[in-house]
A and B are shown apart, each in its own frame.
Chain A
């Protein structure tokens, strides 16, 4: 999010456009009555557009949830075919998705991999961003740009050599290998986002802590890190979503079915031949994948919006 830094900058500077508008139309504003009517039209129009988009977002999801209550036969009979035995279908679909399609195991794998990777990348990323922001040394700019470079190149460029790097160190098709790769690829974004946060923290506070005898670690962990909390929270959310959604890395580097993560288990549904697919289980699988994160999002959306605004105004 390179806008973060820039946005506040442009906010400080006097802005031309309004002045420009002033020059262009020195006439008096429209008569209030006329304006009032146009007003209402625009408000209604806005609502219509927003409701339309909301429906475009929600209807597919509702239809997906609806389809998870139907048997595969009913799904094949047409998009609106009603289920005859809702509870029977639900229990069939969900148990088939959870057990036969390996979603239960994949969910567990994903939780383990993502949790460990998230903790590691936040630890490493905040350490690195802090040190780069607070202790510039000869070559620290180079390190910073090296890290930025990782944000710029597509993972696809690295995927073939990465496969062999992991193979050579014996971590191909293992969970630790996947975790380390997740950490390495989430690292540049983490540093990139946290760097401005640590940069903005007043150095005087750290210096005061040092005066009082706190070492570098204590200053970092007990004084500076807590002050960067909003940034840490925001990056954690984005890293969580990014790692939870990760597809290419596991597909290429984690081909052992036992270690499959959620996105791989879901991809299995579409990659196997059409007639073999248990569509009811597939829709149930979608529900299993979507609902936990959706609930977490609705519960924490206020904080999320907050951290997004933090991100853009920092």
Chain B
């Protein structure tokens, strides 16, 4: 908002109505036009094509591409395997963001305001050590996280059973050679944990940054008013970082609705009884091993629709519970 008076209420705040110099047009063409060509060609155009392909029976390498309307969608929605994959994605989208956000928020709160509450609000000692170490998984490629955990979960040579076997009172017995990823009841929860493990540290650091941005007077005021720690956390910290919560929720939801990398590493074939199969795996197989590109595109459209619905839901909940609308 410079002081330049603009006569008409322009759609854009700055300089909307002025004539643009020719040299500036050249500048804009290079700075905006050039990247946009690449972006539209490799991102937007494929998105649009995918929607069209999803309405065809295209097999990929043949030239025949018949418009078949919504047949692909009918087919995948009556396909038990795809529906199971969709269900698994929904489970992931419910639990991964929820647990990750709660855990990272709690840890961040402990780090930043967990210290003595007499005198100035301060964090714990050694907080930077916790913070640095917790962030480690974020620096590890997702596929490698999957590889590491597929070994940790291994029934006989994995670390998890190697630890749990030694639990006292005969509890340990149960874990002897227990196949975490090979049992239909534990495979999905075990996979959920791996994704959470990979992200908690990152979001913890993000929350720490957000909490540090809260003016400390708010905490002083809350304390003078006699608010306890839990009360302070819920009534001061949480409302102040709610936009970060929303961002984290959406990003984690997108990760959970994709989940391809993790599942491909933990259970490449979809797990026992398809209990860890996700839509993206089904899509990949349908497209690149079965060459049903039309149907695979329909799966992509469903995946995108679910993702958008998830984001819309998060925005709606945030708004209904009193968050500000972000423009």
- Alpha-carbon distance between A125 and B31 when the two chains are bound, in angstroms: 9
Interface residues of A in 164-213 (CB under 8 A from B): 164-165, 180-181, 183-185, 187-188, 203-204, 207
CB distance from B20 to the nearest CB of A (A): 7
Considering the complex, give the chain B residue whose CB is closest to the CB of A308: B209
Q: In terms of DSSP, what is the predominant structure of the interface of chain A?
A: helix
Contact of A154 among B131, B227, B258 (CB under 8 A): B258
17 A–B pairs (Cβ distance < 8 Å), ordered by A: A6-B324, A7-B244, A17-B222, A17-B235, A21-B227, A21-B231, A28-B226, A50-B110, A59-B159, A150-B44, A159-B287, A187-B43, A203-B2, A204-B2, A241-B139, A247-B142, A313-B213
CB distance from A237 to the nearest CB of B (A): 10
User: Which residues of chain B are near A228, meaning CB under 8 Å?
Assistant: none
Q: Which of A279, A283, A290 has the most CB of B within 10 A?
A: A290
State whether B244 touches A312 (Cβ < 8 A): yes
- Alpha-carbon distance between A134 and B145 when the two chains are bound, in angstroms: 41
Judge whether B288 is part of the interface by a CB distance below 8 angstroms.
yes
Interface residues of B in 1-56 (CB under 8 A from A): 2, 11-16, 20, 23-24, 27-28, 30-32, 34-36, 38-47, 49-50, 53
State whether B141 touches A161 (Cβ < 8 A): no
State whether A247 touches B141 (Cβ < 8 A): yes
Contact of B246 among A3, A124, A247 (CB under 8 A): A3
Judge whether A80 is part of the interface by a CB distance below 8 angstroms.
yes
Bitwise, B137-152 to A at CB < 8 A (1) or not (0) is: 1111111101111111
State whether A43 touches B116 (Cβ < 8 A): yes
- Alpha-carbon distance between A5 and B142 when the two chains are bound, in angstroms: 29
- Alpha-carbon distance between A124 and B132 when the two chains are bound, in angstroms: 32
User: Which residues of chain B are near A301, meaning CB under 8 Å?
Assistant: 132, 135
State whether A293 touches B140 (Cβ < 8 A): yes
- Alpha-carbon distance between A51 and B288 when the two chains are bound, in angstroms: 45
CB distance from A45 to the nearest CB of B (A): 8
Interface residues of B in 99-140 (CB under 8 A from A): 103, 106-107, 110-111, 114-118, 124, 126, 129-140
User: Which residues of chain B are near A163, meaning CB under 8 Å?
Assistant: 287-288
Interface size class of chain B, counting residues whose CB lies under 8 Å from the partner chain: 35 or more
Judge whether A136 is part of the interface by a CB distance below 8 angstroms.
yes
State whether A11 touches B215 (Cβ < 8 A): yes
20 more A-B contacts (CB under 8 A) besides A57-B201, A131-B27, A301-B132? A7-B213, A7-B241, A18-B222, A32-B118, A43-B124, A53-B200, A58-B136, A127-B30, A127-B35, A152-B307, A153-B47, A157-B300, A158-B43, A161-B49, A187-B38, A215-B23, A216-B23, A247-B260, A247-B264, A305-B208
State whether B324 touches A10 (Cβ < 8 A): yes
Q: In terms of DSSP, what is the predominant structure of the interface of chain B?
A: helix
- Alpha-carbon distance between A271 and B285 when the two chains are bound, in angstroms: 14
Point out residues on B near A: beta carbons under 8 Å: 2, 11-16, 20, 23-24, 27-28, 30-32, 34-36, 38-47, 49-50, 53, 60, 103, 106-107, 110-111, 114-118, 124, 126, 129-144, 146-152, 156-159, 161-162, 197, 200-201, 205-206, 208-210, 212-215, 218, 221-227, 229, 231, 235-236, 239-244, 246-247, 250, 254, 257-258, 260-261, 264-265, 268, 279-280, 283-284, 287-288, 293, 296-297, 300-301, 303-304, 307-308, 311, 324, 326
State whether A46 touches B46 (Cβ < 8 A): no
State whether A154 touches B303 (Cβ < 8 A): yes
Contact of B225 among A2, A25, A207, A283 (CB under 8 A): A25
State whether A39 touches B268 (Cβ < 8 A): no
In the complex where A6-B243, A184-B43 touch, is A131 in contact with B159 (Cβ < 8 A)?
A: no
CB distance from B120 to the nearest CB of A (A): 14
- Alpha-carbon distance between A21 and B73 when the two chains are bound, in angstroms: 52
User: Which residues of chain A are near B14, meaning CB under 8 Å?
Assistant: 134, 136, 203
Contact of A267 among B39, B129, B132, B264 (CB under 8 A): B264
- Alpha-carbon distance between A28 and B14 when the two chains are bound, in angstroms: 52
Judge whether A245 is part of the interface by a CB distance below 8 angstroms.
yes
Judge whether A269 is part of the interface by a CB distance below 8 angstroms.
yes
Judge whether A113 is part of the interface by a CB distance below 8 angstroms.
no
CB distance from B235 to the nearest CB of A (A): 4
- Alpha-carbon distance between A162 and B300 when the two chains are bound, in angstroms: 13
State whether B53 touches A161 (Cβ < 8 A): yes
Interface residues of A in 128-162 (CB under 8 A from B): 128, 130-132, 134-138, 140-141, 143, 146-147, 149-150, 152-162
User: Which residues of chain A are near B38, meaning CB under 8 Å?
Assistant: 124, 180, 183-184, 187
- Alpha-carbon distance between A137 and B14 when the two chains are bound, in angstroms: 9
Contact of B235 among A18, A136, A294, A312 (CB under 8 A): A18
CB distance from A123 to the nearest CB of B (A): 9
Judge whether A36 is part of the interface by a CB distance below 8 angstroms.
yes
- Alpha-carbon distance between A251 and B261 when the two chains are bound, in angstroms: 10
Judge whether A54 is part of the interface by a CB distance below 8 angstroms.
yes
User: Which residues of chain A are near B250, meaning CB under 8 Å?
Assistant: 2
- Alpha-carbon distance between A63 and B152 when the two chains are bound, in angstroms: 9
State whether B197 touches A160 (Cβ < 8 A): no
Judge whether A286 is part of the interface by a CB distance below 8 angstroms.
yes
